[in-house]
Structure 1
Amino acid sequence: MTTLNVKTGPMLRYDTVDLNQYIYHAFAMIVTEDATSDYSITPNMQLRWQKATALSAATADGSTTVSEDNSSKQSQAIKLYQYHGAQGSFTFWRFKIEIPLADHELAVHYSIDGEAHPTSQSEAIKGMTGHTFFLPAKSQNFRWAGHSCNGFSASVDESDFNGPNPLWDDLLKAHASKPYHALIGGGDQIYCDKLVREPEMQDWNNQTDSKKRMAHPLTDEIRNCIDRYMFNHYCEWFGGGSFAKTIAQVPMINMLDDHDLIDGFGTYPDELMRAPVFNHVGSRGYFFFLLFQLFINDEIDGVSETSHPNRSMIIGGNGEYIPFRNHSLLAYLGPKQWILLADCRSERKIDQICSKPTYQRLFDAVRNLPPGVEHLIILLGVPLAYPRMVFLERALSSSINPFVMLAKGLSPGFTNNFNGQVELLDDLGDHWCAGPHKHERNWLVERVQEISLEKHLRVSYISGDVHAAGVGVFFGYHQHDPSLDPKYSLAVITSAIVNTPPPPAVISMLNKLASKKHRSLFYCGTKETMVPLFETDLEGKAQKDKYIIGARNWCSVEYHQETAELEFDIRVEKVRGGGETKSYAVKAPAPRWDIAKQHHHLLHSKNFDKEISMLTGQPIAN
């Protein structure tokens, strides 16, 4: 029997379903230490599955006996990548998972042949008995969980929150009660900001002259340091604690945000983004994102969609500051729902989030969705609808603002180390509503509304980033029954599952700003505001701050067959570090409009709702 010293894994990643044959596609991955592993036999995975009613998630810990009459297959790993560092070499092994969907939900048990080396570090591999995950029936829509900001900022005292596990334990408890089929990461699945504390980074990081810092050479020592940090940090974070247990049982679908690379990557001036050291940090961060979160290596898998092992992959334009193409995903979540995960980081710069060629690739993919789909979820790392802070952005951008000048002198943390810019400014500049991105945002909303009408889809957005929860909403100028409104889109924000929320004063300010209805989309007949979802606080008492809540959270999402609604249930931590959550649910209605194609050109007019009502006889609700 072979021995494997598993440093990280197993981890599961869901791809999509081949609807021609109803074949479920996914992958598993482990990272092993070469010096203490036996590769005389290529690592092999055993898969067995049976009807899920015979096995609940509560008992699917690998110790459950699976009946002998179940179906089975095995999957031999491919060598995806080998990391070489001062501590030795480590191999990434990827296993392909292909299982036919059935007329009923399936419980799939998997295990890796051999035994774990006594020094194996991965939380998920201990015991080497295997794990179980769940596949929906052919006619069943996925039940899934959304999360973001799975890590702590560099300045946070983790003990104040009882560490990273409490909400992952809450999610696992919900999974044990009623299994999730997918775990969707909305960005910042890992925080790489502490890279700057590595010894080799100190000369660069401590350089007080921003111009000299940007000119700092990229030495071999710094190159090796960046790879070492990324590799070790991923192995520790994805291989430890309750998060590691979760991703061994619920297949991930992930998209990145800035902290998966480093804080604010893509939002700084061009000269910093192209500076040798900072640029290399982003490039290697993206490489390790692809490797650890998407389980791909472009050198092995290529960048051709027609031959890519990931059927959900959409290859977009070239990265603006990194040597990679845009990697977005479009995945099946059941007969009635799909999810589009847009890579909004690889092409990002101060005045661009995604390129027009990439948008066109995404729109084309959505237009090719099969008939019968009713709900499209679009994942954008940063919220599309969020309280405006334009006044703050303008104030902090001004070099002559006396407050900024005073704060720079009194508070060293007021500016970042990368280029001396105000620390908060990169966060504000990241937002879709920031001045340089506002027109792109509005253009995107218009295009998505056109596709929504054309494909008869209810579009909902889900995002993270802001360390708070809330729900924005777009709707037609003359508000009416949401089910009859192709412009009606929820914009769900679930953040953070681990990181700290903003201070109460900031949450209060955001709630005051959130009550406003914005005019920026009036020109195309669209209104937007925030949903007063949090009318009661975490103790059940009535509260004034109804729009944004500042506590750790995650989101449970389920399609309701009876009403065809998609429910987003935000689970908010009641007591900091306690892990127990309170539910705040909102539902996206099914698309029930019936608008002939010859009337689609009216979509962006202010009187669209009234004119369609006159043409179709559908009343406008008061």
Structure 2
Amino acid sequence: MFHSCNGFSVGTDTDSWAGPALWNDVLRVHEKRAFHVMIGGGDQIYNDGIRVDGPLNAWTNIKNPIKRQAHDFSDKLRTECDEFYYNNYVRWYNQEPFKTANGQIPQINIWDDHDIIDGFGSYTDHFMRCAVFRGIGGVAFKYYCLFQHHVAPPKSTFTTDSTEAIDPRQLVDTFVLDEPTPDPRWIMGKTPGPYVEEKSRSLYMRLGRRIAFAGIDARTERTRMQINYPETYDLIFQRLHQELSQANGEIKHLILLLGVPIAYPRLAWLENI
């Protein structure tokens, strides 16, 4: 089964909705005939609250855009943001019936903006390059790895208190597995993203004998002008060509998933069809 946008935007009156209808239905169907996998297309969690009732509230309320852009991402702020993301993940992933679905159905995930903060990567370049955005991008990436892929977080992080390299504070109270080679499911970008100082991680895997799946990381390298670097597209197509060639015709279907529309017709045009 497929899902995305698994939450509500800030300000939504959640009491006006009739509970988690999707996940109740997923478990109902799963009980009758077990799902092979559940695929998350991005926004498996909404972390937008970090700017409303979280540690970025004061920063958000700075009226002067120059001062807001120049605000540092100190070690203290990083720690507060780290706690927010951790607590929000624990709260959301411990909420029924999503909790039970996660415990019973294998999952594959790519991320999108709400896994970080609403609109991340889509604002103007000079604003996106401010210390606060770069900082929360790294913290969100850490917990995306831990909760959505069950892999160790990276050793690197970003604060304006330290150099842009391996940061010993990233290792505080965190187990980091030192793996010489990445998981073969990853299609790793060669260059860190412009605002998330980590390499993109797209996915390739087989869903049974005849179906292949490719999930494109369309957020790590995202700007207002691009979704991915050209060389990342090359890596993805090279991997797909390699896998399909080695399958010798066994693969009949390729599922391609990314968090942005490949074609985006105007809704007014659609309504006139």
TM bucket by the smaller chain? 0.7 to 0.9
Matches of 2:111 and 2:62, distance apart in 1: 29
Tell me what 1:147 maps to.
3
Q: Is the 8 A contact 1:257 1:381 kept in 2?
A: yes
SS state of the match for residue 152, structure 1? coil
Amino acid at match of 2:211: Q
Cα displacement (A) at 1:385? 2.4
For residues 443-458 of structure 1, the aligned pairs below 5 Å read none
Higher helix share: 2
Cα displacement (A) at 1:197? 2.5
Matches of 1:182 and 1:202, distance apart in 2: 37
Matches of 1:202 and 1:313, distance apart in 2: 35
Partner of residue 381 from structure 1, selected from 242, 259, 269: 259
Tell me what 1:504 maps to.
none
Amino acid at match of 2:5: C
**Structure 1 residue 284 and structure 2 residue 142: aligned?**
no
Tell me what 2:231 maps to.
357
Tell me what 2:80 maps to.
225
Q: Which runs of 5+ in 2 are unaligned?
A: 156-175
Cα displacement (A) at 1:301? 5.2
Structure ranking higher on relative contact order (CA contacts 8 Å, 6+ apart): 2
Q: Is the 8 A contact 1:151 1:191 kept in 2?
A: yes
Q: Which runs of 5+ in 1 are unaligned?
A: 1-144, 389-509, 517-545, 547-622
The alignment of Structure 1 onto Structure 2 pairs a total of residues equal to: 247
For residues 460-539 of structure 1, the aligned pairs below 5 Å read 510=267, 512-514=268-270
TM-score (norm 1): 0.38
For residues 326-405 of structure 1, the aligned pairs below 5 Å read 326-369=200-243, 370-371=247-248, 372-388=250-266
Deviations 1:509-566, CA, capped at 9 Å, x for gaps: x2x42257xxxxxxxxxxxxxxxxxxxxxxxxxxxxx8xxxxxxxxxxxxxxxxxxxx
For residues 126-165 of structure 1, the aligned pairs below 5 Å read 145-163=1-19, 165=20
Partner of residue 196 from structure 2, selected from 322, 330, 333: 322
Q: Is the 8 A contact 1:169 1:242 kept in 2?
A: yes
Identity %: 36
Matches of 1:380 and 1:270, distance apart in 2: 22
Q: Is the 8 A contact 1:303 1:315 kept in 2?
A: no
Matches of 1:257 and 1:154, distance apart in 2: 16
Q: Is the 8 A contact 1:198 1:225 kept in 2?
A: no
SS state of the match for residue 329, structure 1? strand
Cα displacement (A) at 1:199? 5.7
Tell me what 1:295 maps to.
150
Q: Is the 8 A contact 1:386 1:514 kept in 2?
A: no
Tell me what 2:94 maps to.
239
Which has more radius of gyration? 1
TM-score (norm 2): 0.85
Q: Is the 8 A contact 2:55 2:84 kept in 1?
A: no
Amino acid at match of 2:70: A
For residues 187-206 of structure 1, the aligned pairs below 5 Å read 187-198=42-53, 200-206=55-61
Amino acid at match of 1:292: F
Cα displacement (A) at 1:223? 1.2
Higher strand share: 1
Distance of aligned partners of 1:322 and 1:199 in 2 relative to their CA distance in 1, 3 Å threshold: closer
